[in-house]
A and B are shown apart, each in its own frame.
Chain A
Amino acid sequence: MRRVVLLFAVLFAVTFLGFAAMNLLGDPLVNVVGVLAELDCEGIEAGTAEDTTVDAASRDCDTVAAAKAQYHLDRPVPIRYVLWLGDMATGDFGTSFQNDQPVSHVIREKLPETLILLTMAQIVSLGVAIPWGVIAAYRANRAFDRGSTVASFGLLSVPNFALGVVLLYLLALRWQIFPSAYESDNFGGLVFSMVLPAVTLGLPLAASYQRLLRTDLITTLQEDFVHMARAKGLPPMRIMFRHALRPSMFSVVTVFGVSTGALIGGSLVVEQIFGIPGIGREIVTAVVRDDFPVVLAIVMLVATTFVVLNFLVDLLYSWLDPRVRAR
């Protein structure tokens, strides 16, 4: 219950932070009405200022007033925030400044690509890391383990964008195994074209999962219940997977929750490299163009995902270790 309260508190704080940043660091009015924002409408009304634009002042001032009303720009920031929250709660995500599309429409269009990408990235990283970590721990300090320590160091040191560019060059351009650009003709093609981006995102993560899993597994393998399992005569790999793996997954699961933030950050870059029309690319465009309803909606979405996911991770703990339930 306390966690639910925390969840909402964090969401409020995150969105308010984003909201304040967008509003205080730039004038949103400029982005809606362009140069008209410079107009001193009150002055014109009072006759103390002159209209410098081409159009009739009254119409321009109407436009500005309408824009202000639509985006609540005439209110102070905290009130705007509350109004915006109210809109969000009723499912009204606002309208993009950029192309007058409803934000919900934009998100609905871009979200599936990013979700597929992130899911595939996690599948890649867990699929690589679990066998890798298990073998490294089983043969701890042997040649394979030492080699994989070096390899994971290397992987952890490649920035996402560099890895993406290298993979793109080698696997798509040079050897032409994977397509170099996003394909959306059919689902299979889509998934296939997402393999490289997913590997780009997932491989460094696999390296950190592997290191965590290896360390925890080595600790678990010294536990009495593993000795007990060996005394029961069970074969080593069965002990690894049936007995040792689950109690050793805590760090991996923790990082699974935390890493989603990093993956979303990485998707900004990776979607750029591979030309995927997803949320990551959308938010970069929106930020650059000060399209703040879109930015805010995406920030809200991402933060919610992050917080909810970490909430789910907590539930996963109790599956991993029934003793947690008792607490």
Chain B
Amino acid sequence: MMAEQDATGAPLLSVRDLHVRFPTERGTVNAVNGVSFDLHEGKTLAIVGESGSGKSVTAKTLMNLLPRTAQVSGEVTYDGQDVQALAEAGTKHFFGVQMTMVFQDPMTSLNPVKKVGEQIAETLRYHLGRSRIEALEEAEELLDVVGMPEPARRLKQYPHELSGGLRQRVVIAMALACQPRLLIADEPTTAVDVTVQKHLLDLLDRLRRDRGMSMILITHDLGVAHGRADDVAVMYAGRLVEVADARTLFFDMRHPYTEALLRSIPRIDDPVHHRLDPIPGRPPELINPPDACAFAPRCIYAQGDCLGGVPELSGLVGLHRFACLHPTGTERGMAAMAANRAAGVTAAGLPVAGGHGGSG
């Protein structure tokens, strides 16, 4: 599963040094800080992070959905074309046809005043010039494809008449209408019932494979990425802190944040009443961030040098990259942990218990 090895041709989507800032009254919000990654045809990249980590903003930047006040720099190329230039030129039939997006909350991402069928058909009519009747027929097929029961009847229903899970299927059908090559799924299952989540994720995965799509799966849940993503990028405070192929990331992670995220997921084989390890502290401020590793205040490995500057993301795009001075699973990391245990506190002032893992 060495994802970086079979990345032979040019990537479908390539992001280089992406920065997004929002000027606000209280100061400039540095939402995305120098994000770079590649996505190859037919692959799935999971972007994982807490809320406020900049993953959604990254996705919206790719789709040119940011409010006008946003200041974007960096380069996004899709199939060799500059996406920003395409957007500014008002290129028709690019967004929605080449790349499209599925949003987090199916309750709000469907127009409440239009029938489901019309909303799917609209894309087909605008981009592919279908007639109303053809478009509705295709919409019915699409609903069938995404596993919607009684598709013909659903066409004539309004979004509020459907459950959350069914609505998200409609959104997916809508996104698939024009056979996009790239699908960005922004927390596609966060807002639906737990029981439906797996169905939807499997559906997305199956559709991606059947249609040879590439997918960016944005989630706060590493568990969602597991088994579905070819590559995983972990974001924290607007930066990528670790990028690797899925296997490496799950079994040989380097960044303490990745490790902490994994520890906070419940596992089937955990003993009953096993305590999860929450990540102490809160996500960092994005206005006037200190010149330090953003995770240091919550990191049990934190040393003095972590507070002396933002660690660079190591390595080349396509390889296992991480931004940590004392990576977990290395000698430097072990040494840092041992030192902190001995002191009972990290360099950033976080108390560390002497025992194993985090304390209560």
Contacts and interface: CB of A to CB of B under 8 A. Distances in A.
Given A323-B160, A326-B160, A232 B108 contact: no
Given A228-B103, A231-B63, A232-B123, A323 B92 contact: no
B112 interface: yes
Contacts of B97: 233
Contact of A225 (B111, B126, B160): B111
B104 to A, nearest CB: 8
A229 interface: yes
A75 interface: no
Contact of A228 (B90, B109, B113): B109
B126 A233 contact: yes
B105 to A, nearest CB: 6
14 contacts: A228-B103, A228-B109, A230-B63, A231-B101, A231-B175, A232-B96, A233-B94, A233-B123, A234-B96, A234-B126, A247-B113, A321-B113, A322-B113, A323-B158
A253 to B, nearest CB: 13
A146 interface: no
A172 B342 CA distance: 93
Residue of B64, B104, B126, B175 contacting most chain A CB atoms (<10 Å): B126
A232 B110 contact: no
Interface range for B: 20 to 34
Contacts of A230: 63-65, 95
Contacts of A55: none
Given A227-B103, A231-B65, A247 B111 contact: yes
Interface range for A: 20 to 34
Interface of A is mostly: helix
Interface string B60-74: 100111000000000
Given A228-B171, A247-B111, A233 B93 contact: yes
Given A224-B105, A322-B160, A323-B158, A232 B95 contact: yes
A110 to B, nearest CB: 40
Contact of A322 (B93, B94, B123, B158): B158
A321 to B, nearest CB: 6
Interface in B78-132: 90, 92-97, 100-101, 103-105, 108-114, 122-123, 126-127
Contacts of A229: 111
